[in-house]
């Protein structure tokens, strides 16, 4: 945020009785002007950050002229009383591959470009969780296991046998919910920068009790409050981390600040990746430093290679 500097004027240390009196309207106008200036500074800083992120996203796709493959079908599955979730079917044949987006995303907004790359060997689906996109938005039902049950309800409705679940970000908790409670139902789990404390609990790592912003949308807040401690994953797992994530957009001209931010993120998230690798013996854990949180955008080829290699090992 741009710094706002208030320079001391001559006479600022004088007692009020010795200062020239400023008319009330002038004082009010000055205060209003300063408030506008500060607000403008904040707005400019936010705009610069949003622009940096937009330019970064544009860079991910630069030179990629391929068309996004539209889904073969989109439909809804009833997963609970008066609750339907959107299911996207990108087509293909073979073992089912089911993609679960991160918080705030839909199946299509997250995976429309990436998921169809698997249709040559798998039947590829995506699920938009309740509370988002065109799925139902009930007032309740956002605990981790309830969301996991929604996924199982879709598997049942579509009669999907031994699918592989692929989750991004908070989608990792739904993977862990299904994988820990119904390991016989699935062939494997793929965590795309998604195996953090909401997906795997380790008593060696202090829990974060950061107060939630009360202005968060109700479904987002409910999901963040509905976390569980998953510790027992007995299925084949591929976990891809981005530690540290790419922070260069935040500190484009400040190498020392960038290095400090990266070190803090490594200290914060590195132990979680280590705990996951140790606590889930069936997991292949990979870290791609300085990838974006949407690691399948910024490092698509690497993620495709790792996923295809992992999928080929499944029975």
Query: Looking at residue 207, which CATH number applies to its domain?
Result: 3.40.50.1820
Asked if 177 and 286 sit in the same domain, the reply is yes
Asked if 49 and 183 sit in the same domain, the reply is no
pLDDT of 236 over the 70 cut: yes
Q: With pLDDT > 70 as the criterion, what percentage of the chain qualifies?
A: 79
Q: Model confidence at 164, in pLDDT bands (50, 70, 90)? A: very high
225: helix, strand or coil:
helix
Cβ neighbour number for residue 271 with a 10 Å cutoff: 14
Asked if 135 and 221 sit in the same domain, the reply is yes
pLDDT at site 55: 43
The domain total for the chain is 2
Q: Which of 13, 34, 59 is the last residue of a domain?
A: 59
| Residue at 4 is within a domain | no
Asked if 197 and 161 sit in the same domain, the reply is yes
Local structure of residue 140 (DSSP, 8 states): S
pLDDT tens per residue across span 70-100:
899 999 999 999 999 999 999 999 999 999 9
Average pLDDT for 179-190: 97
- Label residues 150-165 b or e (16+ Cβ within 10 Å = b): bbbbbbeebebeebbb
Q: Model confidence at 110, in pLDDT bands (50, 70, 90)? A: very high
Asked if 53 and 126 sit in the same domain, the reply is no
pLDDT at site 65: 46
| Residue at 263 is within a domain | yes
Asked if 33 and 89 sit in the same domain, the reply is no
Q: Model confidence at 19, in pLDDT bands (50, 70, 90)? A: very low
Asked if 246 and 199 sit in the same domain, the reply is yes
Asked if 172 and 85 sit in the same domain, the reply is yes
189: helix, strand or coil:
strand
Tokens describing residue 239: 């976990």
CA distance 39 to 43: 6
Q: What is the pTM of this model?
A: 0.80
């Amino acid at each position: 945020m741009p710094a706002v500097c208030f320079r001391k004027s001559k006479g600022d240390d004088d007692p009020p009785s010795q200062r020239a009196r400023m008319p009330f309207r002038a004082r009010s106008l000055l205060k209003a002007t300063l408030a506008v200036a500060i607000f403008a500074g904040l707005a400019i800083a936010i705009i610069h950050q949003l622009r940096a992120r937009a330019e970064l996203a544009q860079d991910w796709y630069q030179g990629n002229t391929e068309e996004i493959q539209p889904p073969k079908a989109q439909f809804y599955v009833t997963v609970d009383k008066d609750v339907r979730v959107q299911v996207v079917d990108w087509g293909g044949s073979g073992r089912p591959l089911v993609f679960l987006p991160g918080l705030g995303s839909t199946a299509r907004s997250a995976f429309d470009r990436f998921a169809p790359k698997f249709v040559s060997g798998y039947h590829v689906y995506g699920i938009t969780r309740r509370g988002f996109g065109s799925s139902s938005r009930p007032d309740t039902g956002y605990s981790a296991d309830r969301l996991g049950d929604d996924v199982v309800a879709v598997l049942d409705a579509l009669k999907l046998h031994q699918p592989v679940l692929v989750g991004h970000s908070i989608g990792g908790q739904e993977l862990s919910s299904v994988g820990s409670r119904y390991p016989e139902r699935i062939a494997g789990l793929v965590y795309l920068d998604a195996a953090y404390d909401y997906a795997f609990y380790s008593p060696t790592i202090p829990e974060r009790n950061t107060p939630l912003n009360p202005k968060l949308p109700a479904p987002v807040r409910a999901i963040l409050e509905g976390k569980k401690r998953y510790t027992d994953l007995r299925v084949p797992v591929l976990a891809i981390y981005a530690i540290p994530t790419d922070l260069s957009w935040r500190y484009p001209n400040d190498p020392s600040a960038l290095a400090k931010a990266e070190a803090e993120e490594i200290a914060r998230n590195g132990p979680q990746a280590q705990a996951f690798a140790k606590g889930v013996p069936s997991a292949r854990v990979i870290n791609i430093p300085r990838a974006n949180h949407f690691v399948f955008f910024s490092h698509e080829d690497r993620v495709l290679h790792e996923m295809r290699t992992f999928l080929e090992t499944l029975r």
